[in-house]
Amino acid sequence: MSALVGVTAGFSFVPQPGSAAPPRYSYADAVRESVQVQTPLDNDADGQPDRVTVDIVRPREAAARGIRVPVVMVASPYYQCCGRGLENERKEYAADGTVTKFPLFYDNYFVPRGYAFAAVDAAGTSRSTGCADVGGREEILAVKAAIDWLNGRAAGFHADGTGATAGWSTGRVGMIGKSWDGSIANGVAATGVPGLATIVPISAISSWYDYSRFGGVVRSRRHHVFLHNLITGRPAAACAPVVAGITAGTDDATGNRNAYWDERDFRPDAGRVRASVLIAHGLNDTNVTTTQFGAWWTALARQRVPRKIWLYQQAHTDPFDVRRAEWVRTLDRWFEYWLKGVNNGIMREPQATIERAPGQWVDEPTWPAPSLPVPLRLGEGTLGLRPVAGTLSFTDNPTLRERELVADPGTPVGGRLTFLSAPVPASLRVSGTASVTLRVSVDRPTTNLTVRLVDYGTANRVNYANSSGGIVRQTTESCWGESTAADDACYFDTVEDVVATDHAVLTRGWLEASHFGSLSSPTPLEPGTWYTMTVRFQPHDFVLATGHVLGLVVSQSDRDYTSATSSGATVQVDLAGSRLTLPFAGPVRLDSPDRAPAVTTAPAPDPPAIEVIP
C-alpha cells in the first residue's frame, strides 16, 4: 500500500507491480451494445421504474478469452442536444440502435488498451426515461444504477426486453467528463457507490447553489428551467411536475439557499467518497468558477481522499485542448493505476500540475501551496500594511462594465472604489482563497457587493475571454487512438491564444449584502447601522511580477457575471475596519504607499456574456 497517499476508510485496492506492455485490441471489431438499466426511481410518475441508457463499446477479443475489463464512463445530458468537445460531437447510431460513433477520444484510445467505454444518457435525456432534475437525486442515482449494473447489483435489459448482464466487466469504473458530465461524476462519487474506483471531473460543479448563486446573488434567472428544457428528451407534459418543482425550488425571488440546493451540494458527502479524484480546471473559468473545484478539493482533503489536480490559465476548457499529449499520458497512467492496479508510480509524483503563465508549467508537491494569510489595509486609494482611518462612499452604477470598473484605477469613477499597492519590489505568489472584509453602512435594506483583484502590469497572458476559452483551433489534426469509418480518433490541434496586456482581472467575488450572515436566512440591513461583511474571492493561484501593482476594485451591481438588479444604494466603507487578506506563498515584501501609484490602462474588450450552460 506504500504507493497510496491518504487512502479513504474502507478503500481496499492494492496496485500490482508494473508488467510488460498490455495486449492491444481491435477497436474496429469491438463489441457494441446498448443496455437499459433500471433505476430505483420513477420521477416521471408513469408507474414504471425509470431506465437509463448505457451505450457500450468493449474489446471483442477479451470477451472471447474470458478476460474481464474495467470501464471508462462518461455520463452526460449532452449526447443529443448539444454535443461534446470543441467539435460538438454527438452519438450516432446504427439501424439496430447501437452506437457507431461516440463523442471524444476516450473510446478510440482506451478500448484498444483493454478497457470498455460506457456512454450514459443522463436521466430524462436522449434515450433515457425519467425527467431531468438538473443535478438532483434522479440525475445522480440513475448513473449510480449504471455502476450497480456493472457490478451485478441492478437489472439491465436489451432493446428486445431480454435481460442483460455485465459478466465481461471487472466492476471497476472510472468516470470522466467536462462541465455537467464531470459534475455528475462528482455527485455519483459522493454516494459512495462501490465499484467507482476513480473520477476525473474537468471544469465540474460540486455545488449547484454556488454555480447558480454567488453569495446570494442570482447569476441568471430561471436558469435551471432553461437547462432542463435544453437537455430534455421527454414530452413536456410528462415532466411538467418536475419543472414546477425546479421553479419553486430554485427560488429566484430571494436567492436563498434551501433544501433544493442542499440536495445538489456534493461537498458535505465527501466522507462517503471511495474513489480517487483527478481534478482539472481552468484558473480563469468564469462559467464553472474556481470555487467549484476549490471547495470540493478542500472537502476531499479533509477526508484524505487520494487526489491530484491540474490547473491551467484557460477558462471553461478541457486540458485535452490545452496540453494534449501530456494530458492523455496522464489519463493513461491514472486509469492504468486505479482501474487495472498497475503500480506505475503516478501516486508518488507531485500532487499538483499548474500553468503559471502561458506555456510555463510547474509541478508542486501540494495545492494550495503552504501560505501565510497577510492582511492588507485599505487607505485613500491605497493598499498597504498600515491601518488608515476615514470613510469612503460610493453609489451603485449598474451601467458600468468590468472593463470600465478596472480601467485607470487612479481616475475617479462614480460607482467604484479602487485601492492600489505600491509596485512590488519582488514577485509575490498567492495560492488559495483571498477575501475582503468590509465594514460598511448601507442606506438600503440590501445591495450587491462585487470585488475584483487586478494585476496592473504588462505581461503576456492567455486571452481566456475569446470564444474558445483561451485557445485557438488549428487546421491540422492529431489522432489519439484507433479509428473506424464511422468514428475517427482525430481532432483539430489547438494552441494557446496569448496576448500582451497591461492589466488583468485575477479573481472576483460577490455577496448579496443581506445574506452576509446566512445564505438561507437573509437579514435586511438597517440604514445607518454598521456591519462587518466578508466577501470571498474565487480560489486562484497567481504570481504578481516584480514592479507590478496589485489593485482591489469594489463595486455593487455586476452586469457582466450576474443578473444585475440595482438597489440604487450608497455604501460607506470604514477604512480602519476593512482589510484584504491574501494567502501569500513564500516570502512577502510589501511597501505601504502614502498615495496610490499612477496607473493607466489601454482600452480592453468587454468580458464574454454570462455563460449559462455548464
Is the per-residue pLDDT at 9 higher than 50?
Answer: no
Residues 509 and 445 reside in one and the same domain: yes
Query: Is 476 within the bounds of a domain?
Result: yes
Q: What is the CA radius of gyration of the chain?
A: 25
Residues 380 and 495 reside in one and the same domain: yes
Residues 358 and 483 reside in one and the same domain: no
Cell of 474: 488549428
Q: Residue 382 has what DSSP assignment? A: B
Is the per-residue pLDDT at 6 higher than 80?
Answer: no
Catalytic residue among 223, 228, 281, 316: 316
Is the per-residue pLDDT at 4 higher than 50?
Answer: no
- Cell numbers 462519487 correspond to 189
Q: Vertex 148, ends 144 and 150: CA angle to 5°?
A: 120
Query: Is 454 within the bounds of a domain?
Result: yes
Residues 376 and 360 reside in one and the same domain: no
Name beta bridge partners: 343.
Answer: 17
Q: How many helices (H) and strands (E) does the chain have?
A: 11, 32
Query: Is 595 within the bounds of a domain?
Result: no
Residues 358 and 385 reside in one and the same domain: no
- Residue 133, phi then psi, degrees to nearest 5: -115, 15
Structural domain containing residue 489 = 372-585
Render pLDDT for 271-320 as a digit per residue (tens, 0 to 9).
Answer: 999 999 999 999 999 999 999 999 999 999 999 999 999 999 999 999 99
Residues 212 and 294 reside in one and the same domain: yes
Mean pLDDT computed over every residue of the chain:
94
Residues 333 and 441 reside in one and the same domain: no
Render pLDDT for 11-45 as a digit per residue (tens, 0 to 9).
Answer: 445 566 555 567 799 999 999 999 999 999 999 99
pTM of this structure: 0.95
> Length of the chain in residues, anyone?
614
Give Cβ neighbours of residue 325 (< 8 Å, ≥ 6 apart). Answer: none
Report the C-alpha gap between 420 and 145 in whole angstroms: 54
Catalytic residue among 265, 285, 396, 560: 285
| CATH (domain of 114) | 3.40.50.1820
pLDDT of residue 14: 57
Catalytic residue among 34, 169, 179, 578: 179
Render pLDDT for 468-506 as a digit per residue (tens, 0 to 9).
Answer: 999 999 999 999 999 999 999 999 999 999 999 999 999
Residues 352 and 389 reside in one and the same domain: no
Render pLDDT for 60-117 as a digit per residue (tens, 0 to 9).
Answer: 999 999 999 999 999 999 999 999 999 999 999 999 999 999 999 999 999 999 999 9
pLDDT of residue 582: 97
Give Cβ neighbours of residue 26 (< 8 Å, ≥ 6 apart). Answer: 59, 60, 61, 112, 482
Render pLDDT for 429-451 as a digit per residue (tens, 0 to 9).
Answer: 999 999 999 999 999 999 999 99
Question: How many domains does the chain divide into?
Answer: 2
Query: Is 599 within the bounds of a domain?
Result: no
Name beta bridge partners: 543.
Answer: 429
Is the per-residue pLDDT at 243 higher than 80?
Answer: yes
Residues 190 and 318 reside in one and the same domain: yes
Contact indicator for 488, 479 with CB cutoff of 8 Å = yes
Report the C-alpha gap between 414 and 251 in whole angstroms: 32
Whether 281 is catalytic is no
| CATH (domain of 452) | 2.60.120.260
Query: Is 492 within the bounds of a domain?
Result: yes
Query: Is 6 within the bounds of a domain?
Result: no
Q: Within 10 Å of residue 553's Cβ, how many Cβ atoms?
A: 22
Render pLDDT for 383-441 as a digit per residue (tens, 0 to 9).
Answer: 999 999 999 999 999 999 999 999 999 999 999 999 999 999 999 999 999 999 999 99
CA distances from 17 to 1, 20, 341 (A): 11, 10, 8
Return the closest-CA partner of residue 79 out of 102, 52, 56, 98. Answer: 102
Task: Give first-to-last CA distance, the chain, whole Å.
Answer: 37
pLDDT of residue 567: 87
Query: Is 7 within the bounds of a domain?
Result: no
Return the closest-CA partner of residue 255 out of 472, 47, 49, 448. Answer: 448
Contact indicator for 416, 513 with CB cutoff of 8 Å = no
Whether 555 is catalytic is no
Query: Is 594 within the bounds of a domain?
Result: no
Give the residue from 332, 348, 364 where a domain finishes: 364
Render pLDDT for 518-541 as a digit per residue (tens, 0 to 9).
Answer: 999 999 999 999 999 999 999 999
Give Cβ neighbours of residue 326 (< 8 Å, ≥ 6 apart). Answer: none
CA distances from 595 to 245, 312, 451 (A): 54, 35, 21
Render pLDDT for 205-224 as a digit per residue (tens, 0 to 9).
Answer: 999 999 999 999 999 999 99
Residues 414 and 345 reside in one and the same domain: no
Whether 179 is catalytic is yes
Q: Which has the higher per-residue pLDDT, 1 or 530?
A: 530
Residues 39 and 119 reside in one and the same domain: yes
Alpha carbons within 13 angstroms on the beta-carbon side of residue 422 total: 13
> Which amino acid type is present at position 116?
A
Residues 538 and 441 reside in one and the same domain: yes
